[in-house]
Amino acid sequence: MSESMAWEGGATGDHRLGRVIAGVPQSIGSGFTALHFSEDMFDGAMDPLLMVDHFVMMGPTFDPHFHAGISAVTVMFEDSVGTFLNRDTLGANLALEAGDVYWLAAASGAAHEEKPEEGARTHALQIFVNLPARLKQLPARAFHVRTNDVPVIESGQHRVRVLLGRVGDTKGNAETPEDMTMLDGSLPADGRYAYMLAEERQAWIYVVSGSMTIQCDAERRGLPAGTATTVAAGAAVEIVLESDDATHFVVMAGKPIREPFVKHGPMVMSTENEVRRTLARYESGKLGRLSPGR
């Protein structure tokens, strides 16, 4: 069943920080566990993000599946063991390594399959990023960011990998369909990192492990492991992250789309008619197919 949604987020007066939300535990069989976050849990304040799953996968879990109208993004954490096998209807057939990012901008439609190699333990994020209506019908494309190509900002108080976008003079990958900054960071005990959120950009901040305090102007929130919060779009603002103990965090920031959309499984289009047309094209084989297995 399709589900129609509309953007409802945004700053209220001087209040930029959102509520602290805990991920919803999920498991499939004995080889997949996750903490799940979706846009409805944040009342639109994740925009342009639609979903984030923080997962550990140790065996094949999902059959090949179809996406459209979104980007499906895999962020491999550096403590992953072994490789994460990825193939899609764009012709990719590769092994993602610890620290890599793979961005599939499915747009008008693409299918993919991801699974750990035998004996691997994949620790990662799976992220669905919405596309504005003007990009949903473009041909699918993808890019791979290798861990050795990721710039790092480092001091005695923080270590931050700039996976996507730009932080000051440090430039990460810039191939995303829309401007997006993605940081994979760590703080030691009593660590500190200050990030300048650009004007009209919205941020989603997640604590992978440890705990930290986030400050935005006069507002403060405590974030334990497995929780996330948001910073609403507005004027450029400094976000300060401080830790009491060793902490692993992720920051994602982008311009909110603020458009209605229709969700149909892993497909997100602008209208019900677009959903039906895209499904018909996929069923007819016009958007490619992946058979199970390799």
Q: How far apart are CA 247 and CA 13, in angstroms?
A: 31
Amino acid 286: pLDDT: 73
User: What mean pLDDT comes out for the span 125-154?
Assistant: 97
Domain ranges within the chain, ordered by starting residue:
3-283
User: What mean pLDDT comes out for the span 230-248?
Assistant: 97
User: Are 195 and 177 within 8 A, CB to CB?
Assistant: no
Q: What is the residue-averaged pLDDT of the chain?
A: 92
Lowest mean pLDDT among 39-53, 145-159, 280-294: 280-294
Amino acid 36: pLDDT: 98
Ramachandran region, residue 107 (left: φ > 0; alpha: ψ -120 to 50; beta: rest): left
* Residue 243, C-beta contacts closer than 8 angstroms, at least 6 positions apart: 187, 188, 189, 190, 191, 192, 210, 211, 212, 213
Tell me the pTM: 0.92
Q: How far apart are CA 279 and CA 257, in angstroms?
A: 24
Q: How far apart are CA 281 and CA 18, in angstroms?
A: 39
Amino acid 15: pLDDT: 87
User: What mean pLDDT comes out for the span 161-180?
Assistant: 97
**Residue 294: pLDDT over 60:** no
Residues above pLDDT 70, as percent of the chain: 94
Query: Tens of pLDDT along 80-119?
Result: 999 999 999 998 899 999 999 999 999 999 999 999 999 9
Residues 3-283, CATH architecture:
Sandwich (2.60)
Amino acid 61: pLDDT: 81
Of 49, 40, 83, which Cα lies nearest the Cα of 206? 49
DSSP output for 50-106: EEEEEEEE-S-----EEEBSEEEEEEE-TT-BS-EEEEETTS-EEEE-TT-EEEEE-
* Residue 288, C-beta contacts closer than 8 angstroms, at least 6 positions apart: 89, 90, 109, 110, 111
